[in-house]
């Protein structure tokens, strides 16, 4: 690790005042410290926000929930209100990382974790995300974990979060505190920027913005929610493809679907065409397959990621079969209720 | 810089570089070498300790961030004369080969059984609600943050199941 100054912030404004050129917030630190050890990230100052009051609670917010940025992944997945009203979120969090990591990793930090593209981690190889303009080694390299949507010629890296996929499917918003302005809210799907020609700029956050909370909208009672994750080993691995869906039925027909896909894009991938193709339809493999094919028209694959197209198609169909009741209810399919 | 915290019930004060991890402080300054440095990147779980009762990877903790926290290491869970239930079960079921991952496995399992008692679900749980049964797939899922290069997993899971029965 390179040397750095350590500051423990007492207040949000105190923390914001310490941010700026080459400073970084630290909370759980599970991704940041890992990257600092291999000198992919070399902040000259760490601002510890874990002692700031008011960021550790999950509280009722109108009909939804406000999740403080420092709520750990473990706390959030086990929160009785989340389990009842937004089971997709519990499942997605529990699908990620390990028990130890989830005890440290925070809600805000999970959203801002960096890609696990092997070339981003390998400082001996060019990477436009680490050093803009240097080139992208992934283009001719080992590409199994790379994205197929939203990429550019400058970067093929995928966003690794499971939690963010659930939050995108649940239409959550991120609360951001700016030092010289009011708190603002950004829909989760608008938090992230596609790489374009600046893959180093990953979100709409300014250097002294701080994520203070995530807001979940009112739970949609009776929606059937599924998080399906495909990975190279049974546990503690990042997604090759994951699908989060919440389905509302109207008798035998699909009333509405909200859906996000993980492991395939620089952000949790949402495509309104999928939801349009499903609304009002009678569930069938053919209908689900057509919805997947609409989404896949946007896919840009390398030889190494061609497998993700059929994998995504099958994963989406499997998730929709379970959520619509076309397949017998499997473990991991939950019906949302209004929390007591 | 200086940081004060409690380790296995004893107040400690350490002088350290900002870069020092909790793992390095425990091993190099406090001589608590039961906690192992495996990968040093949060992937193997050999460095698992309890911080305020929760299991974490001590290699991914900056010592500077733990002022006033309470740590428990493998040395705080039992002694050769008075083994904890999990330590006894690992001996009885031969839940190891080389033993390097064992302290992390036992500290992790100690906290995992508490999580189970609190009713926390896992990704392997059939339901997010109600009692959480501890079958083999639940143990495997809940312990996936602890690797064993000797692959003694079947016996590790047996030891954990045995200790869970003794406790309940």
Distance from CA of A102 to the nearest CA of B (A): 8
In contact, B81 and B60? CB cutoff 8 Å: no
Indicate the SS3 state at residue A46.
strand
In contact, A259 and A283? CB cutoff 8 Å: no
**C-alpha span between B57 and B50 (Å, rounded):** 9
**C-alpha span between A179 and A144 (Å, rounded):** 40
B92: pLDDT confidence band, cut at 50, 70 and 90? very high
C-alpha closest to that of B159 among B119, B105, B111, B83: B105
For residue A69, give both structure tokens.
Answer: 């940025």
**C-alpha span between A105 and A260 (Å, rounded):** 22
What integer pLDDT is reported at residue A178 of this predicted model? Answer: 86
* Interface residue B15 vs chain A (CB under 8 A): no
In contact, A67 and A107? CB cutoff 8 Å: yes
**C-alpha span between A51 and A64 (Å, rounded):** 26
- Mean pLDDT score, B9-30: 98
* Interface residue A33 vs chain B (CB under 8 A): yes
* Interface residue A255 vs chain B (CB under 8 A): no
What integer pLDDT is reported at residue B168 of this predicted model? Answer: 62
CATH numbers and ranges of domains, chain B? 2-77 (3.10.20.30), 85-167 (1.10.150.120)
Q: Is the alpha carbon torsion for A229, A331, A86, A78 positive or negative?
A: negative
- Measured between CA atoms, the residue of chain B closest to residue A229 is B123
Q: Best residue in A99, A166, A239 to probe B by mutation, most B CBs within 10 Å?
A: A99
In B, which residues are within 8 Å of A6 by CB distance?
1, 18, 62, 64
* Interface residue A98 vs chain B (CB under 8 A): yes
Name the residue facing B55 among A5, A78, A99 (closest C-beta).
A99
Distance from CA of B82 to the nearest CA of A (A): 26
* Interface residue B2 vs chain A (CB under 8 A): no
Name the residue facing A29 among B60, B121, B142 (closest C-beta).
B60
Angstrom distances, CA of residue B1 to CA of A26, A111, B25, B57: 18, 31, 13, 22
- Mean pLDDT score, A53-81: 96
Name the residue facing B18 among A5, A84, A90 (closest C-beta).
A5
Model pLDDT for residues B42-91, shown as the tens digit of each residue: 999 999 999 999 999 999 999 999 999 999 999 999 999 999 999 999 99
% of residues, chain B, pLDDT over 90: 95
What integer pLDDT is reported at residue A340 of this predicted model? Answer: 75
What integer pLDDT is reported at residue B46 of this predicted model? Answer: 98
State if pTM tops 0.90: yes
Model pLDDT for residues A210-253, shown as the tens digit of each residue: 999 999 999 988 999 999 999 999 999 999 999 999 999 999 99
Q: For B71, what's the count of Cα atoms within 13 Å in the CB-facing half-sphere? A: 30
In A, which residues are within 8 Å of B57 by CB distance?
30, 100-101, 104
* Mean confidence (pLDDT) of chain A: 96
B116: pLDDT confidence band, cut at 50, 70 and 90? very high
- Mean pLDDT score, A115-129: 97
Name the pairing type of β-strands A45-48 and A5-8: parallel
* Mean confidence (pLDDT) of chain B: 96
Give yes or no for residue A181 having a pLDDT over 80. no
- Measured between CA atoms, the residue of chain A closest to residue B109 is A99
* Interface residue A91 vs chain B (CB under 8 A): yes
- Mean pLDDT score, B98-111: 98
C-alpha closest to that of A172 among A313, A50, A268: A268
Residue B65 to residue A29, Cβ atoms within 8 A:
yes
Give yes or no for residue B160 having a pLDDT over 90. yes
Residue A33 to residue B21, Cβ atoms within 8 A:
yes
Model pLDDT for residues A304-338, shown as the tens digit of each residue: 999 999 999 999 999 999 999 998 877 789 999 98
What integer pLDDT is reported at residue B167 of this predicted model? Answer: 66
Q: Residue A165: enclosing H or E segment and its boundaries?
A: helix A163-169
% of residues, chain A, pLDDT over 90: 91
For residue A233, give both structure tokens.
Answer: 């080993």
In contact, A64 and A89? CB cutoff 8 Å: no
In B, which residues are within 8 Å of A74 by CB distance?
54, 115, 120
C-alpha closest to that of A216 among A66, A58, A336: A66
Residue A34 to residue B60, Cβ atoms within 8 A:
yes
**C-alpha span between A181 and A177 (Å, rounded):** 8
0.85 surpassed by complex ipTM: yes
Q: How many CB pairs under 8 A join A and B?
A: 107
* Interface residue A331 vs chain B (CB under 8 A): yes
């Amino acid at each position: 690790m390179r040397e750095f100054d350590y500051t423990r912030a007492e207040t949000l404004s105190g923390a914001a005042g310490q941010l700026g050129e080459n400073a970084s917030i630290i909370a759980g630190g599970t991704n940041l410290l890992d990257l600092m050890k291999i000198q992919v990230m070399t902040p000259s100052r760490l601002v510890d926000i874990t002692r700031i009051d008011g960021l550790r609670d999950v509280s009722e917010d109108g009909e939804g929930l406000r999740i403080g940025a420092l709520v750990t992944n473990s706390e959030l997945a086990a929160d009785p209100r989340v389990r009842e009203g937004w089971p997709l979120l519990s499942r997605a969090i529990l699908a990620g990382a390990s028990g130890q990591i989830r005890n440290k990793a925070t809600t805000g930090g999970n959203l801002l974790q960096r890609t696990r593209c092997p070339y981003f981690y390998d400082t001996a190889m060019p990477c436009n995300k680490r050093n803009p303009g240097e080139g992208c080694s992934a283009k001719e390299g080992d590409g199994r974990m790379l994205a197929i949507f939203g990429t550019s010629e400058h970067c093929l890296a995928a966003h690794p979060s499971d939690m963010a996929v659930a939050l995108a499917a649940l239409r959550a918003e991120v609360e951001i505190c700016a030092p010289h302005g009011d708190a603002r809210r950004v829909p989760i799907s608008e938090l992230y920027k596609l790489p374009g020609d600046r893959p180093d700029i990953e979100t709409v956050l300014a250097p002294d913005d701080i994520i203070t909370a995530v807001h979940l909208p009112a739970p949609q009672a009776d929606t059937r929610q599924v998080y399906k994750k495909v990975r190279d080993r049974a546990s503690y691995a990042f997604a090759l493809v994951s699908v989060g869906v919440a389905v509302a039925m109207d008798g035998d027909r699909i009333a509405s679907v909200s859906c996000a896909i993980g492991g395939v894009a620089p952000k949790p991938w949402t495509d309104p065409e999928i939801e349009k193709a499903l609304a009002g339809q009678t569930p069938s493999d053919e209908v689900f397959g057509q919805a997947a094919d609409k989404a896949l028209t946007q896919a840009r694959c390398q030889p190494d990621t061609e497998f993700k197209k059929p994998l995504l198609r099958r994963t989406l169909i499997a998730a929709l079969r379970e959520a619509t009741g076309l397949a017998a209810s499997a473990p991991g399919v939950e019906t949302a209720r209004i929390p007591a | 810089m200086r940081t004060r915290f409690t380790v296995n019930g004893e107040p400690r004060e350490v002088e350290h570089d900002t870069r020092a991890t909790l793992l390095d402080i425990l091993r190099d300054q406090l001589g608590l070498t039961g906690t192992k440095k495996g990968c040093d990147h949060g992937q193997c779980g050999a460095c698992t300790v309890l911080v305020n009762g929760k299991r974490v990877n001590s290699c991914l903790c900056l010592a500077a961030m733990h002022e006033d926290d309470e740590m428990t290491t493998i040395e705080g869970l039992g002694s050769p004369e008075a083994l904890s239930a999990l330590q006894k079960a690992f001996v009885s079921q031969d839940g190891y080969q080389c033993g390097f991952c064992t302290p992390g496995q036992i500290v992790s399992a100690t906290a995992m059984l508490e999580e189970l008692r609190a009713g926390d679900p896992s990704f392997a749980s059939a339901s997010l609600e109600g009692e959480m049964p501890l079958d083999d797939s639940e143990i495997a899922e809940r312990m996936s943050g602890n690797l064993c290069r000797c692959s003694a997993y079947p016996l590790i899971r047996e030891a954990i199941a045995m200790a869970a029965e003794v406790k309940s």
